Amino acid sequence: MTLYDRFGLFIGGSWQPAAGGAQVAVIDPATEDRLGHIAKAGPEDLDRTLATLAGAAPAWRAVPGWTRSGLLRAMARGMAERADRAARDMSEETGKPLAEARGEWQAAVDQFDWYADEARRIWGHSLNGREEGVLLDVRYEPVGPVAAFTAWNFPALLPARKVAAALAAGCPIVIKPSEEAPSPMFHIAECAAEAGLPAGVLNVVTGDPAEISAHLIASPVIRKVSLTGSVPVGRLLAGLAGQGLKKVSMELGGHAPVLVFPDVDPEATGALCAKTKFRNAGQVCISPSRFYVHEDIYEPFAAAMARTAREARIGRGLDDGVDFGPMANARGRDRVLDLIEDARGRGAEVLAGGGVPQAHNRGFYVEPTVLGRVPDDACIMTEEPFGPVAPISTFREFDEVIARANGTPFGLASYVFSGSLATANRAAAALETGMVGVNDMLLAAAEIPFGGVKDSGMGREGGQLGILEYLEPKYVKYRYG
């Protein structure tokens, strides 16, 4: 009996195996053993999904917003009830500590709760015409069937952001979660069925990512494409969507700079930065990932970061007391180890960690690593590390550090630590990112518009703006009287 036996492809409201019976293995990142197998959708399955979406779209867009709201609220309740099971399965698949998995599951519940409200608040506006007897009306309508693709690092929250928004807007959706951590999306689909969501409105497929995305996005049935993933895959899917002139949202990679000005407590700030950096083993798109610390406070800041890194309790996510798990896959571990070696070779100092933990040479573990005095030409200062390594550099001047912080193609998140509101505000205005944390690093929440600029993507998820990604304005001119 594995995690996946009762699941499969979720098409038209029921679980089914792939038509050809093909499967993909899911690996436990803590042991490198197989956790089980999931269905590998082929062209026949995808065509069935597209036909299901086309069939479901007219009825779902006609369902009143208040009714959609009730269904989303029921899904949120059902999800909250199965938090324990879902978080355990997520922890096993991703290696993330159970407490983090529980927190993420709750954040996914929040998305359904938030969009349950938003489904009732889709409003347009009216203008008086230039002549008497004319009214100009602007209203919002669902864009149509959505194809969505999500990464493995937050395997409940990332799909939830898309599914809840699409359903609230009146769009049916097919989602392809990451094959590396599919179970949270399977649980969400089960909650949808239990809540009474009409069959065919939510569909889930897994298999070969390139084949599935090419097949779905090429279909005229799909009117909207939404991805959370890396920049290269974003370029690929945005290109495919561009061929069909489809609406697109892209939540892509980041490389968040952290600016630490000299008027803060360096030890408390260093400890907070380390705790945030090593959450989910650093595999977070908005993870603080380049630390620019004022020269005057570098030593105590770096020492506090290194100390906090060394205190991490490393192990399998489901084990008691563990607060730092393995990375999700071998390619991530190898990338991080290469980046550490490159930085070392260019003169960076290893202040904590630096390799594979001795007690964990099976599984995809990397020690929480802090690198000091990292030069700007080290690859880690410009390439997204997406792992548990914190490079620290120093600065002296405001303009200099802003230029260095803005000197990558990424623009997702940034962080500023300063005791001066004026300095913090000047920095927040100058940083080229979609989100800025001032003396705070917990940015994600259902009520804010999450997203980036530059290569980090386009569109926003959550907040008042999120639902607009799934709606199109329609202008109607009335002449009366």
Active site residues: 251, 285
Closest CB to ligand NAD among 91 and 289?
289
Instruction: Compose the 273-302 pattern: x for residues touching ligand NAD by CB under 6 A, - for all others.
Output: ------------x-----------------
Closest CB to ligand NAD among 204 and 306?
204
Pull the structure tokens for residue 455: 């290569």
Of 42, 40, 10, which is closest to residue 26 (Cα–Cα)?
40
Query: Per CB under 6 A, does 254 bind ligand NAD?
Result: yes
Query: Per CB under 6 A, does 111 bind ligand NAD?
Result: no
What does the alpha-carbon distance between residue 456 and residue 251 come to, in Å, rounded to a whole number?
Answer: 6
Closest CB to ligand NAD among 75 and 151?
151
Contacts (Cβ under 8 Å, ≥6 apart) of 476: 136, 137, 138, 139
Q: Which pairing describes strands 349-352 and 369-372: parallel, antiparallel, or unpaired? A: antiparallel
Span near ligand NAD by CB under 6 A; candidates 28-36, 251-259, 307-315, 348-356 = 251-259
Q: Site residues for ligand NAD, window 396-455 (CB under 6 A)? A: 412, 452
Query: Per CB under 6 A, does 29 bind ligand NAD?
Result: no
Q: Which residues pair with 413 in a beta bridge?
A: 435
Span near ligand NAD by CB under 6 A; candidates 91-99, 133-141, 227-235, 389-397 = 227-235
Tell how far CA 148 is from the center of its chain: 12
Span near ligand NAD by CB under 6 A; candidates 43-51, 188-196, 248-256, 463-471 = 248-256
Query: Per CB under 6 A, does 95 bind ligand NAD?
Result: no
Query: Per CB under 6 A, does 252 bind ligand NAD?
Result: yes
Closest CB 195 distance from ligand NAD, rounded Å: 25
Residue of the chain from 78, 145, 184, 253 that contacts ligand NAD (CB under 6 A): 253
Tell how far CA 274 is from the center of its chain: 21
Residue of the chain from 112, 364, 386, 415 that contacts ligand NAD (CB under 6 A): 386
Closest CB 237 distance from ligand NAD, rounded Å: 6
Closest CB 33 distance from ligand NAD, rounded Å: 21
What does the alpha-carbon distance between residue 177 and residue 234 come to, in Å, rounded to a whole number?
Answer: 15
Query: Per CB under 6 A, does 256 bind ligand NAD?
Result: no
What does the alpha-carbon distance between residue 55 and residue 395 come to, in Å, rounded to a whole number?
Answer: 59
CA distances from 9 to 95, 136, 190, 203, 393 (A): 24, 45, 12, 8, 47
Residue of the chain from 91, 94, 111, 178 that contacts ligand NAD (CB under 6 A): 178
Measured between its terminal Cα atoms, the distance across the chain in Å is 70
Of 237, 143, 213, 228, which is closest to residue 472 (Cα–Cα)?
143
Q: Site residues for ligand NAD, window 355-384 (CB under 6 A)? A: 384
Closest CB 157 distance from ligand NAD, rounded Å: 9
What does the alpha-carbon distance between residue 90 and residue 82 come to, in Å, rounded to a whole number?
Answer: 12
Query: Per CB under 6 A, does 209 bind ligand NAD?
Result: yes
Span near ligand NAD by CB under 6 A; candidates 72-80, 122-130, 209-217, 355-363 = 209-217
Query: How many residues interact with ligand NAD (rule CB under 6 A)?
Result: 27
Contact 353, 341 (CB under 8 A): no
Task: Say what the alpha-carbon torsion angle 158, 162, 167, 171 is, to the nearest 10 degrees.
Answer: -150
Question: Nearest 5°: CA angle at 23, between 17 and 24?
Answer: 135
Contacts with ligand NAD, residue ranges (CB under 6 A): 149-154, 158, 176, 178, 209-210, 213, 228-230, 233, 236, 251-254, 285, 384, 386, 412, 452, 457
